Structure 1
């Protein structure tokens, strides 16, 4: 056997052993997978890495200069929860209001997902960065036209998860789990199965994600260029401030669960 062939055989044997040996002799196997959210907060500042801190200092100063300015005031603490919550109502209403300000556009209702809201809104000053904490994703506005009969399926999707952020609709749900829609109205009116309704939502949901696959039944889809959900909410807060108003919300029974 020549030297080249000898080395080739030896390499093949080594690679074979590398892949087979762990598989044959491993005593470990996957038994479960768990996931949870880990909040990164000031507790990690107690023992900072000085060298890393020095590298990040100029970047931190620039980010702070952008995120720290106050753009508005919240009248109350607003959290997230099902079937409805102060914060989800607020953001959904802001989305509905903006959508109806677009030229030649009439939106009947709005839907956002609770999972897209990643932080609460505390009472008091609202900093620019606070909005980024609440809406950290680059989601864009999408307007969908749906037949009333398909809107009913959408409301069933909302019921199955116990509620989402909505505006200008009212739902009465049966008790969870896997709740059913007992009553539903849009702007106070019963649903007309043959009527086309326009709904404002975000692109992620328009693609049928987060359990809202009924959005895929839409007849038409319009996604205005440059209209991100975060910027829409930022502008909503700024407009309130210009008018001398505080940002506020209320629980008005837009989604209720039968007692």
Structure 2
């Protein structure tokens, strides 16, 4: 009981301190936020902690056995970047293709974000690890129904950030310094303002994130269970490999900047 009383007293003292400091108004204000990506690669292997290496060795062997197997071949080096890129075109096309395999589903277009593509796809062997590096997040497919007028608004959102990954779409936007939507087509046709279009995207964007707030105007939103984007891309690579086909992509002018 004695020790219980001491612990209780210490706990009350700590709680009182927390309440005291939380009641004080800070004179500091956030001025700015800066961030950058740091690639963790073999450069850091030159200063290994041998004791830590020994502890993690069994787990590393297990992870390597899962991530190292080759599942396909990439024909060209694929990077991501605005306004369009080989990698973003590939992933957007794969997402739309998968969505159209779902029962009773007809998907008009697909939209992904560059922020979700965290690495490049190099020419040569593709492993499980390669795809996990590109798509590390648990982003899942969402099918969003948008009226034509709201789809135009979504394309305006995309224009403002200088482009995103799209499929079955062609956008003409003005220069990044004054980025605005100039023209847009879906499947080679002008947008019918009264038509309802089905957009294949990821849950993160369907919630209006990454500057694509027009997704919140959705008439309907359906997110099939278990349809994780990473798994969709993995399955696509495996199926291509079974057919002895390589993974490739092309730049087709789906997003152009008016000079």
TM-score normalized by structure 2? 0.89
Q: 1:60 to 1:153 in 2, by over 3 A?
A: same
In structure 1, what is the equivalent of residue 255 of structure 2? 255
Which residue of structure 1 aligns with residue 246 of structure 2? 246
Displacement of 1:34: 2.4
Find runs of 4+ consecutive structure 1 residues off by over 4 angstroms.
28-32
Q: Which whole-Å deviations, capped at 9, do the CAs of 1:92-126 have from their partners, x for residues lacking one? A: 00001000011100000000000000000000000
Give the stretch that moved more between structures: 172-181 or 62-71: 172-181
Aligned-residue CA RMSD (Å): 2.2
Distance in 1 (alpha carbons) for counterparts of 2:245 and 2:32: 51
1:160, distance to aligned residue in structure 2 (A): 0.3
The 3-state SS of whatever aligns with 1:210 is: coil
For the residues of structure 2 that align with 1:96 and 1:258, how far apart are their CA atoms?
27
In structure 2, the residue corresponding to 1:66 is in which secondary structure? helix
SS in 2 for 1:249: coil
SS in 2 for 1:177: helix
2:5 is matched with: none
Indicate conservation of the 8 Å contact 1:71/1:238, yes or no: yes
**Does residue 1:68 correspond to 2:78, yes or no?**
no
User: After superposition, where does 1:21-36 map in structure 2 within 5 Å?
Assistant: 32-36=32-36
Give how far 1:207 is off: 0.2
Please give the per-residue CA displacement for 1:133-156, whole angstroms capped at 9, x wherever unaligned.
Answer: 000000110001110000000000
Is the 1:160–1:177 Cα contact (8 Å) retained in structure 2? Answer: no
Partner of 2:6: none
Report the Cα offset of residue 37 of structure 1. 1.3
TM-score, scaled to structure 1:
0.89
Q: Any unmatched runs of 5+ in structure 1?
A: 1-7
Structure 2 equivalent of residue 157 of structure 1: 157
Query: Distance in 2 between the 1:246 and 1:76 partners?
Result: 10
Q: 1:47 to 1:215 in 2, by over 3 A?
A: same
- Quote the offset at 1:177 in angstroms: 2.3
Return the alpha-carbon distance in structure 2 between the equivalents of residues 135 and 36 of structure 1.
Answer: 18
CA distance in 2, matches of 1:37, 1:227: 28
SS in structure 1 at match of 2:177:
coil
Q: How does 1:1-259 map to 2 (within 5 A)?
A: 32-259=32-259
Distance 1:32 1:165 in 2: 29
1:32 to partner: Cα distance: 4.7
* Whole-angstrom distance in 1 between the partners of 2:54 and 2:233: 34
Q: Deviations over 1:154-199 (max 9, x none)?
A: 0000000000000000001111124111110000000000000000
